[in-house]
Amino acid sequence: MNLKEELHGLSDKLEQFRRKFAAAEKRGDKGIMLQFRQEINTVTKRIASVKAQQTRELSKQGGSVAGLKFKRVLTKAEQADMGKLKKSVKGLVVVHPMTALGREMGITQVTGFAAKEF
């Protein structure tokens, strides 16, 4: 299971535990409240761990892409025919500013990274 799916599943569990905790609180059931409070803390810690792991992987990927020797902003014509561009340039990595990688790298325009000039 990838990190995104795991994070989604953990968020669902957290919401479920919070609802059950609220119901137990309404009933005044101290034992169940304690149990769900512990579950909420455990899941919250796991979510933080998964988010940190996602950030590390994204930083690693951003570092490898930024380490490529050549980069430039892609023109609108190149963006329109991305398939042709990728076939002509071996190892081209295109980073869009609205993706997680683009935000991590601080890119403001669609940029292509490659080992050789294109």
* 95 and 65 Cβ atoms separated by less than 8 Å: yes
Task: Count how many Cα atoms sit within 13 Å of the Cα of residue 41 in the half-sphere of its side chain.
Answer: 6
pTM of the complete model: 0.71
Q: Can you name the CATH fold of 68-117?
A: Ribosomal Protein S8; Chain: A, domain 1 (3.30.1370)
Cα(102)–Cα(98) distance, integer angstroms? 6
pLDDT tens across 52-103, in order? 999 999 899 888 888 888 899 999 998 999 889 889 888 899 999 999 899 9
* CA 34 to chain CA mean position, Å: 32
Please state the domain extents for the chain. 1-65, 68-117
